[in-house]
Amino acid sequence: MTAATERKQALAQRRQDVTEARIAALGTVPGAGWQARPRAEALSRLRAMGLPQPRDEYWKWTRPETLTQPEAPTAATFDAKTAPTFDAIDRLTLAFVDGVFDAEASDPLALEGIEIERLATSEADIHWAQDLYGALETDGQTPVERPLAALNSAYATDGILIRVTGKPSKPVNIVYHHRDDSSDACLHHVIRVEPGAALTLLENGPAAARFNQVIEVDVAETGAFHHIRTQGRDHERRAATHIFARVGRESLFKSFTLTANGVLTRNEAVIDIIGDDASAHIAGAALGDGDFLHDDTVFITHDALNCESRQVFKNVLRNGANGIFQGKILVKPGAQKTDGYQISQSLLLDEASQFLAKPELEIYADDVACSHGSTSGAIDETALFYLRSRGIPEPIAQDLMVLAFVAEAIQEIEDETIAGEILAQLEGWLSRRRG
């Protein structure tokens, strides 16, 4: 046996050992009724692929050990001492504390234009979600395996199931609270937007010391889905989130995430555009200070005519913080008239911070307009001097330039009130760090 073969076998054994240790710690797969089959299939997928290892291509910049070890690393709780995001917006609120649904802090599960219930209490033999739960996640395993998502489909303890049949008068807001420094939450949300319907989904707050989340979204023809998320200001929390979306004819999918603080965050998105004349936009802004690693990994597939996609990601990093972007646009044969745009940029406020990017285009159609770009740089000293010469103090001038830098990402939020909430969060983070 060659040394290379021995190393390969050792790595395979290590992957299997880590996977089985994690499964053993989780115990029995939850769920009954319609959930039993997709959860069992997810467990089989997980065992077949194994949990991610540092040598895996898509994990080479984000070490997965703290996301895969049997017990969650402790993370001190954090009192932000400010009003939660979206509190000023009229919305249907659903609250989770360390992954456990809080009925007292939640509104009744009722809103015109939607059917809504919890995953943990949905155990009928037949349910509309049975065709979606784990299905989009399964499709998203090709060509890149996403084993943490398979783990979620098998072991999620709860989540929200939403079938959108109309246009509700207000958003649905899922609010997360972290109160146990060793909590390990696993939630799975499923959303079906029927033809001509529309939903705005808000998420905010740190969910747990360690959080594993999957959102599966099916947007039918002429439907619209808007998703705006802030991930909380806990300094020590870890999160691995996944969005799997299927976008139908003449429909719209939009998602924006603001991440501030957190020792490790990996947000994955796999979006399949399957209907003609559809649009999918995903954007994010990450603000990191010190012990901070943020990873955006995005894969958008165009498999229809005359469709548009946008990936817009901005990182502001200081005091040794790290940002990562891995983004891909795949244009399949026949997906003519595709308009794909991808940009990832970082603003490094000191020499100790780092941003790593891997933008990709893979195109098998000849009538397309696709572009990608990635830049890293420091504050423009000439522009900074100009602002200071106009009497603006240097810390405020620098903050203004940071806000201008992330503006392109925030512009992806269509609702002006919600965009204003996000801007306020950004301004607050910056003001707290002025020298």
Cβ contacts of residue 103 below 8 Å, gap of 6+?
Answer: none
For residue 11, the model assigns a pLDDT of 87
For residue 300, the model assigns a pLDDT of 98
Average pLDDT over every residue of 176-200? 98
For residue 54, the model assigns a pLDDT of 94
Average pLDDT over every residue of 405-414? 96
Cα distance between residue 409 and residue 24, in whole Å: 41
Cα distance between residue 324 and residue 346, in whole Å: 9
Cβ atoms of residues 362 and 328 within 8 Å: yes
| Three-state secondary-structure class, residue 319 | coil
For residue 431, the model assigns a pLDDT of 86
Question: Sorting pLDDT into bands at 50, 70 and 90, what band is 432?
Answer: confident
pLDDT digits (tens, 9 = 90+) for 7-30: 788 889 999 999 999 999 999 999
For residue 84, the model assigns a pLDDT of 83
Instruction: Compute CA distances 193 → 168, 244, 386, whole Å.
Output: 12, 14, 49
> Per-domain residue ranges for the chain?
3-380
For residue 43, the model assigns a pLDDT of 98
Is the Cα dihedral 33, 163, 285, 92 positive or negative? negative
Stretch (H or E) spanning 10 = helix 3-26
Average pLDDT over every residue of 287-300? 96
Cβ atoms of residues 3 and 35 within 8 Å: no
Question: Sorting pLDDT into bands at 50, 70 and 90, what band is 435?
Answer: low
Cα distance between residue 191 and residue 195, in whole Å: 13
* Percent of the chain scoring above 70 in pLDDT: 100
Amino acid at 174: I
The single residue listed with the structure tokens 């001190």 is: 76
The residue that leads in pLDDT, 385 or 275, is 275
For residue 17, the model assigns a pLDDT of 95
Mean pLDDT score across all residues of the chain: 95
Average pLDDT over every residue of 154-177? 98
Average pLDDT over every residue of 85-113? 96
Chain-centroid distance, C-alpha 287: 15
HSE-CB for 212 with a 13 A CA cutoff: 23
pLDDT above 70: residue 51: yes
For residue 1, the model assigns a pLDDT of 64
pLDDT above 80: residue 348: yes
